[in-house]
Amino acid sequence: MIMTKDKQTLLSKIPSVDELLQNPITQKWDGSYPHILILDAIRSILERKREAILRNNDLKEGSIALSPDDILSEVETELITLSKLNLHSLINATGIIIHTNLGRSLLSDAAIKNVQDVAGNYTNLEFDVWEGKRGKRYSHVEEVLCRLTGGEAATVVNNNAAAVMLVLNTLALGKEVIVSRGELIEIGGSFRIPDVMERSGARLREVGATNKTHLKDYRDAVNSDTAVLLKVHTSNYKILGFTEEVSLNDLVELGKERGIPVIQDLGSGCFVDLKRYGIDDESTVQDSLRSGVDIVTFSGDKLLGGPQGGIIIGKKSYLDRIRENPLARAVRIDKMTLAGLEVTLREYFDEEKAIRNIPTLRMLCQTLEEIEKRAGRIVEGLQDIINEEVLDIRIKDGVSQSGGGALPLSNLRTKVVAVIPKEIKVTEFEKGLRENNPPVIVRIKDEEILLDPRTILDKDIEIIIEAVRRIGSELK
């Protein structure tokens, strides 16, 4: 690039980093912003100035602000951005309850309280207070898990992917694991059953066809190298039509007959019979264990509604081996997770309490009337900005989703608040909501913004009203 003389002159007018650091404005920031961020912000704004000068071949006098005051005002804006937390809360108005991108399940108030207590105090994490000697990290939840599910033994790891990996590594290292082709699923891009199996050191033995697998397929595949019969919940999809899968009961029978453990990766794992609440026919963890399966694994933060974790429940002889696997240490859970998980699990001693207190269950079991009432509150708060020509807002029928690979086909009927901007693009309105503080995340369908009260917390209704009102009033 040819450097014109004007550009040279402009470049020479950019103040130096040192000069800006000495400026009284910058001096006043010391104490409010860390020095390292001040320095980075100054450097990044100066770099932007340099680039702007070099890129632009049609520079007019004064078109790029170079005075220390102007530059420092931009630096301050940058500093505010740099000082914001990267991970922060937001409002989920999408109606997708276990939204993977938005952090899956929320903890109950009691669980949050316990996480806080355990995080800020010394605890008996690995100390037996009665005996005055070393205790076990996992003992805090094992008994509760067994009492709730009827399992013999239980342990918990970092997440369900780790649970599957650890179980297979313990029981099938260098040996074969038989799985139906219809269950070789991928979840959320990074978890694929075949890949996890391979990394666990087990060899995958696929049986059956994508749509049909018969008991005979498993039976024929069993050989002296078979270590595990694995059943995987297909989570985020269902094979419909001309299909057949082998029931857990039949697989357990075959396992017993041949002396091979049967493992079920339940994915979501639910303790409550959701049929009773008019939601899908999802079998529970208790159902699985009752059928005699040797081990089940599932997530802590899907339908269970707790913190991220991978729960392993089953026969004591296997659990003892799993706990002793050195990999268990590499995927162990931390004390804050245990604190949140124990309280979440204890809520299930009283099912009604669990549904009232655990946000995931509460959202799932919310009645249509309740949802409509909450939608009404939002529309009411926006009555005065509704304008046929500019911004229409009304309540419509809609569908929520459980998300998290749970209940893939259950369509949860809901009532949404549809916001229909007439003068600007719906995507622009959506961007406005997304850039709100806190951000409001919504769904767009047919040129309408849909706010689903099912996943909106009561405390956030006012914030949403304010955000829509602000963006809406800018349209007038």
Ligand X SMILES: *Cc1c(COP(=O)(O)O)cnc(C)c1O
Q: Compare residues 155 and 414 and give the one whose CB is closer to ligand X.
A: 155
Q: Among 95, 151, 208, 267, indicate the residue that binds ligand X (CB under 6 A).
A: 267
114 touches ligand X (CB under 6 A): no
CB-based contact 437:347 (threshold 8 Å): no
Phi, psi (deg, nearest 5) at residue 96: -95, 110
Q: Among 222, 228, 230, 232, indicate the residue that binds ligand X (CB under 6 A).
A: 232
Q: How far is Cα 226 from Cα 231, in angstroms, rounded to an integer?
A: 14
Q: Compare residues 185 and 419 and give the one whose CB is closer to ligand X.
A: 185
346 touches ligand X (CB under 6 A): no
433 touches ligand X (CB under 6 A): no
Q: Compare residues 310 and 398 and give the one whose CB is closer to ligand X.
A: 310
Q: In whole angstroms, how close is the CB of 219 to ligand X at the nearest point? A: 24
Q: Compare residues 304 and 365 and give the one whose CB is closer to ligand X.
A: 304
Q: Among 23, 29, 49, 191, indicate the residue that binds ligand X (CB under 6 A).
A: 191
Q: Count residues contacting ligand X (CB under 6 A)? A: 15
265 touches ligand X (CB under 6 A): yes
Kindly give the pairing relationship between strand 391-403 and strand 96-98: parallel
Q: Compare residues 94 and 308 and give the one whose CB is closer to ligand X.
A: 308
419 touches ligand X (CB under 6 A): no
C-alpha radius of gyration, the chain, whole number: 28
269 touches ligand X (CB under 6 A): no
Which residue is listed with tokens 């029981």?
171
Residue with smallest beta-carbon separation from ligand X: 267
Q: Compare residues 255 and 267 and give the one whose CB is closer to ligand X.
A: 267
183 touches ligand X (CB under 6 A): no
CB-based contact 449:433 (threshold 8 Å): yes
Q: Among 161, 263, 312, 361, indicate the residue that binds ligand X (CB under 6 A).
A: 161
b/e code 299-327 from CB counts within 10 Å (16+ = b) = bbbbbbbbbbbbbbbbbeebbeebbebeb
Q: Among 114, 169, 299, 414, indicate the residue that binds ligand X (CB under 6 A).
A: 299
- Give residues with Cβ within 8 angstroms of 252, minimum separation 6: 262, 291, 292, 293
170 touches ligand X (CB under 6 A): no
Q: In whole angstroms, how close is the CB of 160 to ligand X at the nearest point? A: 3
Residue 306: name the closest of 160, 195, 428, 207 by CA: 160
CB atoms within 10 A of CB 21: 14
10 by Cβ neighbours in 10 Å (0-12 / 13-18 / 19+) ranks as buried
Q: How far is Cα 162 from Cα 146, in angstroms, rounded to an integer?
A: 20
Q: Among 92, 108, 159, 436, indicate the residue that binds ligand X (CB under 6 A).
A: 159
CB-based contact 106:76 (threshold 8 Å): no
Interface ranges with ligand X (CB under 6 A)? 159-161, 164, 187, 191, 232-233, 235, 265, 267-268, 299, 310, 405
